């Protein structure tokens, strides 16, 4: 048994002890005091950057679609409308849910699980109104996780090229990762290491990207360079 195995066994044992002794609210409070957050380490920087970008948009003017996710459905975001499309009831690889029907589409940690990402990207473009924005995030260096299937990985360059082939413009990509985070998520199972501000570094090592994300725009019909109210510049 390696030291990593011993550490993992100790963490699981401590969790089981606390679970048997403390009620759930007390366990959550204790975890917060010890620096733990209910957020995977691998997504902390990405989630913050995406939230920063979305906060720059005029939420009250946006009709929003989220594909296979629940992050953006809270009333606090203030979107004009919100629609969640969940697999298998809707498969983004088959056809657009509608044409020119929304201003903002989210697909976070989804496209690695779709069989035909090129077609899915084209379908998202069709769903957006001219000037609308696509927010997409995917893993790069992350273990195989078939939920229900796991097909693809992208670098920033690969993501940018796929979005451009579909017809998106004003594409901005970013990435984050480091070797310690990669190692922490390589244990068997589908769980990702929760972030602890005291234990886990958010330093970015460019050669070891764990997560990739991008903001891209559907061109306006008039060809104007400025974004409409539904899509502030991805660099804003």
Residue-wise pLDDT for 179-196, tens only, equals 999 999 998 887 899 999
> Is the entire prediction scored with pTM above 0.85?
no
- The structure tokens listed for 86 are 């969940």
Question: Does residue 169 contact residue 29 with C-beta atoms inside 8 Å?
Answer: no
Domain boundaries, given as residue ranges, for the chain: 1-34, 38-217
DSSP state of 92: T
pLDDT band at 38 (very low <50, low <70, confident <90, very high): confident
Give the span between the Cα atoms of 51 and 108, in whole angstroms. 12
For residue 202, the Cα-to-chain-centroid distance in whole angstroms is 17
CA dihedral of 173, 178, 181, 186, whole degrees rounded to 10? 90
Q: Which superfamily is assigned to 38-217 in CATH? A: Vaccinia Virus protein VP39 (3.40.50.150)
For residue 69, the Cα-to-chain-centroid distance in whole angstroms is 9
């Amino acid at each position: 048994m390696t030291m990593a195995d011993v550490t993992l066994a100790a963490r699981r044992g401590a969790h089981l002890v606390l679970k048997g002794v403390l009620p759930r609210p007390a366990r959550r409070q204790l975890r917060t005091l010890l620096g733990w957050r209910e957020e995977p380490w691998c997504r902390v920087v990405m989630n913050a950057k995406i939230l920063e970008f979305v906060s720059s948009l005029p939420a009250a003017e946006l009709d929003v679609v989220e594909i296979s996710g629940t992050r953006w459905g809270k009333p606090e975001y203030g979107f004009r409308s919100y629609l969640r499309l969940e697999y298998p009831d809707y498969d983004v690889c088959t056809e657009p849910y509608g044409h020119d029907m929304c201003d903002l589409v989210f697909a976070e940690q989804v496209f690695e699980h779709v069989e035909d990402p090129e077609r899915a990207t084209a379908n998202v473009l069709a769903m957006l109104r001219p000037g609308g924005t696509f927010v997409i995030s995917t893993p790069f260096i992350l273990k195989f996780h078939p939920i229900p299937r796991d097909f693809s990985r992208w670098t920033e360059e690969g993501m940018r090229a796929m979005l451009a082939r579909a017809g998106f413009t004003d594409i901005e990509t970013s990435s984050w990762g480091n070797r310690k985070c990669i190692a922490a998520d390589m244990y068997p199972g589908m769980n990702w290491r929760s972030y602890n501000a005291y234990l886990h570094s958010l330093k970015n090592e460019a050669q070891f990207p764990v997560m990739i994300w991008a903001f891209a725009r559907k061109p306006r019909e008039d060809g104007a360079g400025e974004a409409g109210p539904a899509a502030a510049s991805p660099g804003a």
